[in-house]
Structure 1
Amino acid sequence: MKEGRGRKRSADEAFADDPQFDKIAPDGVVTFILDEGKMTVRVHSAIMKNASPVFAAMLGPHFKEGHALREGGCEIPLPEDDGVVFAWICRVLHCQNDTYSWQPEPKEIVQVLDVAEKYDLSKGILLSVRVWVGHQLEHTDTSDLWSLLLACHRAQDGDSFESISRKLLLSCAESFVQLAADTKDAGRTAYRLAATLEVSRNEVLSKIFWILHVDLPDAIRGYPCRHDENPNPYCMMNVQAGMTLHLHHNDTSRSINQGVDLVLDALSKLCKHTIDCEPCIKYRGAMCRSIHYTCVNIEEKVKGLCLACFDRTSTGKCTNEHGKSLVAPRPVGYT
């Protein structure tokens, strides 16, 4: 252990006034020194030992911190850890209700998980992490949603994992692979998650662009009076105008919501064209309603990723067979 750890404190020194977070355990006998001595966090040794095998060993009989603890109390410097994040972890370990007193940003939630994994504290704070993630769901942009999704995977929060992945699929126009590439210390899980989201989004976008560039033009060309001996010239003009409504929309780097908006925008412009042919008016109204319903239905049916199936299948898609082993056999030598 590093020098300075486990220093014995006198009785007066042990209960001297400490900075913020000292009220976590005023009569605790273990004090963590954080942020280069600017913050101290006093805790009960029994709670920390019970929550973490790392601290159970550190405060046991084989380390100097444990010897100092038996003689009245000890200070443990943790210079590499964020003081506020570590202090809040200690606070929720001592009182779960304090979870609701803090609303960490997505970056801080990731830091909480980093510290919790470092000291094997994850089991004690996972419920708190899920609460904090829930608070952030409605107030984050795409990059933060990506961070939260990775945090949900680490915390094994299936409900939030599904909700956030659905929100990303609907609202994100960025490359998921690029988001993974921009993630600090991104591992295989981040890239696999990005690939799964890319495939899911592209499947839906392909349906939307088919409607925009195939179904909609076919429907516009299908106006009833085209079969008449003397078709209404205004209907023909509307067909020609309608066929160009969406042609400038050639950027495929769009979210699902944006793709649906392209179709609905084209329908809205089409309906603003005036015609005086009763059969064509009825036809256009029915056609627009049908395509509108189809697009909205596609949007509503977008599902988030199932955490259990993402972890247990090669495709990441939900099979609704959660009671079975779903991992496909891997070739010899596969890593």
Structure 2
Amino acid sequence: MCPVNGPFDQGNASIPFYQLARYAWSNMNLGLIQPLKQEADQPLAKNPDQQIVEDLIPGGDLILAVGPERRLLGVSSSFLCEISPVFAVMFGPNFEEGHRLRSTQPEDSEMVLELPDDNAQAFCNTIRVLYGADPATADFEPAEIHKITIVVDKYDMIPRFTFASTYWFTKYSWTDDPEETWQLTTAAYWMQNPDAFFNFSKKLIKQLQTSHLSHVDNMPDKMLGLKLCSNFG
């Protein structure tokens, strides 16, 4: 996790990522994989044994199985290393993951990196923001932004999201919904944006709500959620 310069201590800041996250390699038969992106005149085959891979980065060399539902995302290991120091270390010479990638032969089964603890849609959206500058990412709702920032913080991609997060926080500066304000407050915390955190937290204090405890269950860091609740009443 990334250290944050804010009003609260982040409990996991001193613990390396690889001690916090669960990840593993698995094998997949290439004959059972079907890309999601195909020609319009070639509809997806209805084969219950065939797994669908969403080709986020065409020509990539890696498949991620994200979340408990194992949503398959086709990506590039070099791109992940470029945007995330965590993946750069993971795929480097000192980790098994890097050795596996470099030793894979064309005739081998497809190697799949399992990330069971991550939110699949949030991970997909995170890649969409950085790869290809998908214009649809400008329209993310506060709940989606909140989930993206969890992924961004976990994989140490905060500098890559400086412009995107500034746009999002400015876009929703008018929001008066307590739940959205909470989501944006915590997002600003994870993005290490002190101005946005100050503005949203100030608004959160002024909004009439008996308790913010209902929001804590949706946070990966329950201790942070409780600290926020104690400060916002």
Q: TM range, normalised to the smaller chain? A: 0.5 to 0.7
Higher helix share: 1
Please identify the structure whose Cα radius of gyration is greater. 1
For 1:75 and 1:88, the matched residues in 2 are separated by: 19
Counterpart of 1:32 in structure 2: which amino acid? Answer: L
Aligned pair 1:119/2:155, yes or no? yes
The aligned counterpart of 2:209 is 174
Inter-CA distance 107–65: structure 2 relative to 1 (3 Å threshold) = same
Aligned twin of 2:228: 190
SS in 2 for 1:81: coil
Matched, 1:145 2:181: yes
Give the superposition deviation at 1:62: 3.6
Q: Who is 1:322 aligned against?
A: none
Corresponding residue of 2:35: 17
Greater RCO, CA 8 A, separation 6+: 2
RMSD: 3.5
Name the structure 2 match of 1:234.
Answer: none
Mapping for residues 203-218 of structure 1, pairs under 5 Å: none
Aligned to 1:274: none
What is the aligned length?
188
Normalising by structure 1, what TM-score?
0.46
2:114 matches 1:77? yes
The yes-or-no answer on 1:160 pairing with 2:196 is: yes
How many Å separate the matches in 2 of 1:136 and 1:81?
25
SS in 1 for 2:212: helix
TM-score by length of 2: 0.63
Match of 1:45 in 2: 77
User: For the Cα contact (< 8 Å) 2:165–2:191, is it kept in 1?
Assistant: yes
In structure 2, the CA distance between the partners of 1:186 and 1:107, relative to structure 1 (3 Å rule), is farther
Residue 148 of structure 1 aligns to a residue whose secondary structure is helix
2:39 is matched with none
Q: Secondary structure at the match of 2:113?
A: strand
The CA distance in 2 between the partners of 1:121 and 1:30, in whole Å, is: 19
8 Å Cα contact 1:106-1:144 kept in structure 2: yes
Shift of 1:149: 1.7
Match for 1:17: what amino acid? P
Task: Note closer, same or farther for the CA distance 1:52–1:146 as it changes in structure 2 (3 Å cut).
Answer: same
State the AA in 2 paired with 1:194. Answer: F
Give 1:126 deviation, angstroms: 4.2
Contact 1:6 1:65 in 2 (8 A): no
Q: Deviations over 1:228-285 (max 9, x none)?
A: xxxxxxxxxxxxxxxxxxxxxxxxxxxxxxxxxxxxxxxxxxxxxxxxxxxxxxxxxx
Counterpart Cα distance in 2 of 1:36 and 1:191: 29
Distance of 1:91 and 1:27 partners within structure 2: 16
Q: Give the whole-Å Cα distance in 2 for the aligned partners of 1:100 and 1:193.
A: 35
- Identify the residue that residue 108 of structure 1 maps to in structure 2: 144
Once residues 204 and 23 of structure 2 are traced to their aligned partners in structure 1, the CA distance between those partners, rounded to angstroms, is: 47
Q: Does 1:68 align with 2:100?
A: yes
- TM-superposed CA distance for 1:76, in Å, is 0.7
Offset, 1:94? 2.1
Q: How big is each residue's C-alpha offset from its partner over 1:263-312, in whole Å with a ceiling of 9 and x where there is no partner?
A: xxxxxxxxxxxxxxxxxxxxxxxxxxxxxxxxxxxxxxxxxxxxxxxxxx
Contact 2:90 2:98 in 1 (8 A): yes
C-alpha distance 4-38 of structure 1, shift in aligned 2 (>3 A): closer
The 3-state SS of whatever aligns with 1:120 is coil
List alignment gaps of at least 5 residues for structure 2: 1-17, 37-51
- For residue 30 of structure 1, what is the aligned residue in structure 2? 62
Q: Structure 1 pair 133/3, CA: closer, same or farther in 2 (3 Å)?
A: closer
Per-residue deviation, 1:29:
0.4
Quick one: distance in 2 between partners of 1:102 and 1:39? 23
Q: Which residue of 2 aligns with 1:280?
A: none
Shift of 1:28: 0.7
- The within-5 A match list for 1:316-327 is none
Residues 65 and 169 (structure 1 numbering): CA distance in 2 closer, same or farther, change over 3 Å? closer
CA displacement at 1:141 relative to structure 2: 0.9
Provide the identity percentage: 24
Q: CA deviation at 1:180?
A: 5.8
